[in-house]
Amino acid sequence: MTENLQTLEGWYTLHDFRSFDWPRWRLLSKPEQQEIQEEFFSVLKQYQFCNDQRTGAFACYEILGHKSDFLFLNLRENMHELAKAERALQKTAFSEFAPVLYSYVSVVELSNYVHGNGEKTPEVQAMIDARLKPDLPKTNHICFYPMNKKREGKDNWYTESMDERRRMMKEHGLIGRKYAGKVTQMIGGSIGLDDWEWGVTLFAEDPLVFKHLVSEMRFDEVSARFAEFGAFYVGNRLEIDSMVSSLQ
């Protein structure tokens, strides 16, 4: 047997993708819309409060294309708190107009490809903690996609030795470092939690960075031989005031 992957885990994560029934919404009177918006805004304020208290993180986005209209991204310390956050939105009148189209559950993860097995200095530990319990970037754009590592014949990631996997991941990481300062990455481990093995979330000020980064990585051995990708979701960050006002 090959050496098992060791991971560090942080906050639990829910990507909550929703559509919105605009024709039905427009049938409501202005007072009815305003009442729903006020309740909706109150829940978003509760979500945002966790950012200030460092008990989790929250951001919302408008999603382009037919796959979704909005993304509500919540991170919490445990799955109970994550479930409370999910229910808070689901109980609102807003949710009657915004059914869930897709969701993804994971936990922020660092592997020993990244964090290694060496002694942790206070500085290194602080960096690890910041990666596991991240402040969501305030950059304008987001890209999310789920992925697996292949288990097909000779292209079986899980039968490769740890040294070989570490070598390939190091080369893979060198590509990412070229984009330092341009893109922030959050890896959600989801083996046993959702249908794919990882959920990857990228944040950037320029959406073309997503295209360039993912394209370059496709030629890397890890991706070319072993990666399987799900659907990609791309969108624009919204402040909660803008989120609510977009319904007007």
Q: How many domains does the chain have?
A: 1
Residues 221 and 154 sit within 8 Å (Cβ to Cβ): no
pLDDT band at 126 (very low <50, low <70, confident <90, very high): confident
Any domain includes 34: yes
pLDDT at 135 over 70: yes
Which class for 165: exposed (0-12), middle (13-18), buried (19 or more C-beta within 10 A)? buried
pLDDT at 124 over 90: no
pLDDT at 113 over 80: no
Any domain includes 102: yes
Choose the catalytic residue: 12, 47, 102, 145: 145
**For residues 171 and 112, which has the higher predicted lDDT (pLDDT)?**
171
pLDDT band at 118 (very low <50, low <70, confident <90, very high): low
pLDDT digits over 165-191, tens only? 989 998 898 998 999 999 999 999 999
pLDDT at 112 over 90: no
Any domain includes 2: no
Any domain includes 147: yes
**Is 145 known to be catalytic?**
yes
pLDDT digits over 2-54, tens only? 677 789 999 999 999 999 999 999 999 999 999 999 999 999 999 999 999 99
Any domain includes 173: yes
pLDDT band at 127 (very low <50, low <70, confident <90, very high): confident
Any domain includes 64: yes
Three-point CA angle 75, 77, 79, nearest 5°: 80
Residues 133 and 11 sit within 8 Å (Cβ to Cβ): yes
Q: Which long-range contacts (CB under 8 A, 24 or more apart) does 82-91 make?
A: 82/12, 82/13, 82/14, 85/14, 85/47, 85/56, 85/58, 86/14, 86/16, 88/43, 88/46, 88/47, 89/16, 89/43
Q: Please give the structure tokens belonging to residue 46.
A: 């509760």
Q: What is the pLDDT of residue 1?
A: 59
Q: What is the pLDDT of residue 116?
A: 55
Q: What is the mean pLDDT of the chain?
A: 93
Residues 44 and 242 sit within 8 Å (Cβ to Cβ): no
CATH classification at residue 34: 3.30.70.1030
Any domain includes 161: yes
Domain hosting 174: range is 7-245
Which class for 99: exposed (0-12), middle (13-18), buried (19 or more C-beta within 10 A)? exposed
The CA distance from 25 to 140, in Å, is 27
Q: Please give the structure tokens belonging to residue 157.
A: 């990631």
Q: What is the pLDDT of residue 35?
A: 97
DSSP lists the bridge partners of residue 62 as 70, 236
The CA distance from 165 to 47, in Å, is 38
Length of the chain equals 248
The owner of tokens 């039905």 is 24
Any domain includes 207: yes
